[in-house]
Amino acid sequence: MRIRRTAAALLLALAALWGSAPPAPARTGPATRLPAGTTTTADGRTLFADSAGRALQLRGFNLDKYAEARDEDLRTIAADGFTLVRIAISWARLEPAPGRLDRTELSRVERLLDSAQRHGLLVVVDFHQDVYGPAFGGGDRGVPTWATRDDGLPFTPDPDDWFAGYFQPAVQAAFRHLYDDPDLRRAQSGFYTAVARALRGHPALLGYDLFNEPFGPVDGDPADPAVLAAAAAELEQGRLAGMYRRLIDAVRRVDDRSWLFVEPTVLVGQGVPTALPRFADPRRGPARIGYAPHFYDTAVEAGRDWDPSDGFVEAYTAAITAYPQAARMPVLVGEWGPPSARTPGNAALIDRQVAAMQAFATGWTMWYWCLGDGGYCALGPDGRPAAGDGPAFGPYPVATAGVPLAQSFRADRFTLEFTSGARGGVSELTLPVGSFPHGVRVSLTGAGRTVTDVRQPTADRAGTVRVRLPDTRPGSRVTVTLTG
């Protein structure tokens, strides 16, 4: 998501206001560790958990949209200490004609999952769209031309403000038809079922992000913040909720294993709480439906350096907390990060966002994995973390044998506090490449704990720290401190 000028002004004004399925086929090869379920903390957070009951944190990156990601990219992400990638797919590319899947394109997606499996990464498959689809100048992203009905209304693109395209009459009509027309509903559901049938059971597949950055009709002047907020609430309660129910059923016809993630509109980034309802999961057993908001500051997207006094992080955190807590849904932030963290304010924003997500999310994927000098690239031209992006490459607990309470990383010092679980076990901390360039020392407080293994990070491989807790004294407070 990149917002420019007009659309940014609109959202800045708003900010001022405030079933069962058949069994999946077996796959061969080493199994990627998937969450076995969830655990809910005393303060209401729902986190992924493994079969031993350990709370999990998943971290990683989006792969560049529709580019030919290489096996080497996935290998490096894993070697750097990350566990998750978000891969965008396009309905227009995968189904260029009604009912005909492009096998070449589908094979590309399958190869990326195979590569992720080889390197121990989990994958969220993102059904991506930008400004609806290619009929509106977006390349081959999103909804195919054959599923686009614009009622002959005008569309005038603004090359400097692509997000403003969502408010064009033709795009508004196309979204309305997609939500409302029975034949397009069936076509979309059939496409999701076909993709889920092809990918089901893959060891690397965590699940699906059902619709990237949903948008829809705005009846009235979108320059009026109240109109925009009302339109978002109406969409989330009505048309979008209906779409999500259809797509959940479409995937569950063939796959009762994968996690399904719903997104709110982008207005959540401006402190507008979602109006989405709770969603039932027809699978056998506990629901596997998660919440996947994006975490973007409109002013930063418009090219400004972040102002720490603008209240963005606080407003966002307040806006996205109540819904997943009430529904007991894990939060996986699908996209976040400024266009460049090379300015002082944006570097501070990266640090604040990482700290905030530790308090409410079970994982995140940063936008995005590439080498460059700005332009959202998480890596500089030399392949090292881009200037200002260091906190995203900081240490983190992959698995905590208990309830994580707090963590911080400042100036080569990382602290994790947690209370031990009833089952004891081993807590695992990952030290991404670059987090402790001069080696790491470990200190512990709390009864009945031992360091069982420390692997120092190197220039091209993440390190690890493992702390073992006995099966006694559950609820003991444990502090792990790493210093460089």
Mean pLDDT of the 263-287 span: 94
Residue 7's identity, in one-letter code, is A
Between 243 and 219, name the one with better pLDDT. Answer: 243
Rounded Cα gap, residues 67 and 80, in angstroms: 21
Greater confidence (27 vs 383) lies with 383
Q: Give yes or no for residue 410 having a pLDDT over 50.
A: yes
Q: Which is it for the CA torsion 8, 14, 15, 16, positive or negative?
A: positive
Average the pLDDT over 457-474 and give the result.
84
One CATH from 1.10.287.3510, 3.40.50.720, 3.40.50.300, 2.60.40.1180 for 395-484: 2.60.40.1180
- Ranges 25-39, 123-137, 234-248, 416-430: which has the least confidence: 25-39
CA distance 236 to 215: 9
What are the E-state strand segments in 423-462?
A: 425-431, 441-445, 450-455
User: Residue 438: what pLDDT?
Assistant: 86
Among 168-172, 194-198, 365-369, 457-461, which stretch is predicted with the lowest mean pLDDT?
A: 457-461
Q: Convert 426-462 to b/e letters by CB count within 10 Å (16 or more is b).
A: bbbbbbbbbbbeeebeeeeebeebeeeebeebeeebb
Q: Is the pLDDT of residue 11 over 60?
A: no
Q: Pick from 114, 121, 108: which is nearest to 66 by CA?
A: 108
Instruction: Give the global pTM.
Output: 0.94
CB 395 within 8 A of CB 27: no
pLDDT at 112 over 90: yes
Report the mean per-residue pLDDT for the chain: 90
Asked whether the predicted pLDDT for residue 394 surpasses 50, the reply is yes
Calpha distance 190→251 (Å, rounded): 9
pLDDT confidence bin for 5, thresholds 50/70/90? very low
How far apart, in whole angstroms, are the C-alpha atoms of residue 165 and residue 425?
52
pLDDT at residue 276 tops 90: yes
Residue 151 CB coordination number (10 Å): 11
HSE-CB for 469 with a 13 A CA cutoff: 32
* Segment 453-480 mean pLDDT: 86
Determine the pLDDT at residue 434: 82
Identify the pLDDT of residue 8.
53
pLDDT band at 285 (very low <50, low <70, confident <90, very high): very high
Q: Are 479 and 469 in contact (CB under 8 A)?
A: no
Q: Is residue 1 predicted with pLDDT exceeding 70? A: no
Averaged over 327-343, what is the pLDDT?
Answer: 96
User: CA-to-CA distance for 116 and 336, rounded, in angstroms?
Assistant: 21
Q: What pLDDT was estimated at residue 61?
A: 97
Quick: pLDDT tens for 446-457.
867 787 789 998
In CATH, the architecture of 5-22+58-393 is: Alpha-Beta Barrel (3.20)
User: In sequence order, what are the beta bridge partners of 122?
Assistant: 84
Looking at residues 318-323, what average pLDDT do you find?
A: 95
pLDDT in tens, 188-238: 999 999 999 999 999 999 999 999 999 999 988 888 889 999 999 999 999
For residue 279, give the amino acid letter. F
pLDDT value for 158: 87
- 226/237 Cα distance (integer angstroms): 17
Q: Domain segments of the chain: what residues?
A: 5-22+58-393, 395-484
pLDDT of residue 17: 43
Instruction: Supply the pLDDT for residue 31.
Output: 37
Number of H helices, E strands in the chain: 11, 21
pLDDT (average), residues 240-269? 97
Cβ atoms of residues 302 and 5 within 8 Å = yes
For tokens 């038809």, name the residue: 177
Give the least confident one: 208-222, 281-295, 310-324, 462-476.
462-476
Q: List phi, psi (to 5°) of 271.
A: 85, 15
Cα–Cα distances (Å) from 406 to 190, 220, 418, in that order, read 44, 45, 7
pLDDT of 69 reads 86
Residue 163, pLDDT > 90, answer no
Radius of gyration of the chain (CA): 22
Angstrom CA distances, 171 to 133, 135, 153, 213, 217, stand at: 9, 9, 9, 14, 8
What's the token pair of residue 422? Answer: 């009833």
Give the H/E segment covering residue 418.
strand 413-420
Please check the confidence at residue 119 and state whether its pLDDT lies above 70: yes
Mean of pLDDT values over 105-109 = 94
Residue 19: predicted pLDDT: 37
* Sole residue written with tokens 């720290």: 465
Q: What is the pLDDT of residue 422?
A: 73
For residues 16-25, give the mean pLDDT: 42
Angular region, 17: left φ>0, alpha ψ -120 to 50, beta rest: alpha
Query: pLDDT of 140-151, one tens digit each?
Result: 889 999 999 999
The string over 349-383, giving b where at least 16 C-beta atoms fall within 10 Å of a residue's C-beta and e elsewhere, is bbbbbbbbbbebbbbbbbbbbbeeeeebbbbbeee
33 versus 420: the higher-pLDDT residue is 420
Highest mean pLDDT, choosing among 28-37, 215-224, 279-288, 419-428: 279-288
